[in-house]
Amino acid sequence: MPMGSSEYLKSYVLTFIQNGYKRLNLLFRLKMATFAPTNQFKKQMKVLFFIFFSFFSIASISAQQTDLQKDSIQTDSILTEVFRNDSLHTVRGKATYYASKFHGRRTANGEVFSNKKMTAAHLKLPFGTLVKVTNLDNGNTVIVKVNDRGPHTKAFIIDVSQAAAKELGFYGKGVANVEISYQMANK
């Protein structure tokens, strides 16, 4: 092959590649043009976005304005009232205190139980949670630390130590109507 034909072949291949690229580019643009949103579609999307945004804004505002929500829970003829405020929880129900036989025994978290300390048992609260207990009959209040699990009956919401029961004014009576308040850590 003469030298000129080699150059001709190169230019032919180069032209073929360039034309192929142009064809692919044109084909891509045509495909994208068919998927381009119309003005009507854009308007519909704006309306949907506005409705979506408005709904969640209103839901957020109404959730912030409702500081306290009250739920009543009926369990075995015991009415427990639960008040919720973001991280502060308040529950009303009945409380009892530990019997003397538990003094010196290990609690569920491994501590040695003492009836002389301000401690309590709760079924679900994390160990170490500080709980404000208020006797609804006389208004006495104590702060106890959860270090055990219980009470193991649905009739009571908390078991307190004898020291706490004395401060609350129901030691010797066995049971008191109380309100417990505690804060849950924000996640």
- Neighbouring CB atoms inside 10 A of 173's CB total 12
Q: Which two tokens stand for residue 174?
A: 């066995």
pLDDT band at 156 (very low <50, low <70, confident <90, very high): very high
pLDDT at site 5: 63
pLDDT at site 114: 94
3-state secondary structure of 28: helix
pLDDT: which is higher, 31 or 120: 120
Residue 72 identity (one-letter amino acid): S
pLDDT at site 130: 92
d(CA 128, CA 166): 21
pLDDT: which is higher, 126 or 21: 126
User: Given a cut of 90, is residue 172 above it in pLDDT?
Assistant: yes
Mean pLDDT of 13-21: 63
CA angle 144, 146, 152 (to 5 degrees): 115
What CATH architecture does domain 69-183 belong to?
Beta Barrel (2.40)
Residue 181, beta-bridge partner list: 90, 132
User: Given a cut of 60, is residue 85 above it in pLDDT?
Assistant: no
d(CA 179, CA 142): 11
pLDDT at site 143: 94
Q: β-pairing, 158-160 with 88-97?
A: parallel
Q: Which of 128, 48, 64, 137 is nearest to 119 (CA)?
A: 128
> Is 179 within 8 Å of 91 (Cβ atoms)?
yes
pLDDT: which is higher, 140 or 13: 140
Mean pLDDT of 132-156: 94
User: Given a cut of 90, is residue 107 above it in pLDDT?
Assistant: yes
d(CA 7, CA 93): 97
What are the boundaries of each domain within the chain? Answer: 3-65, 69-183
pTM metric for this prediction:
0.55
pLDDT at site 77: 41
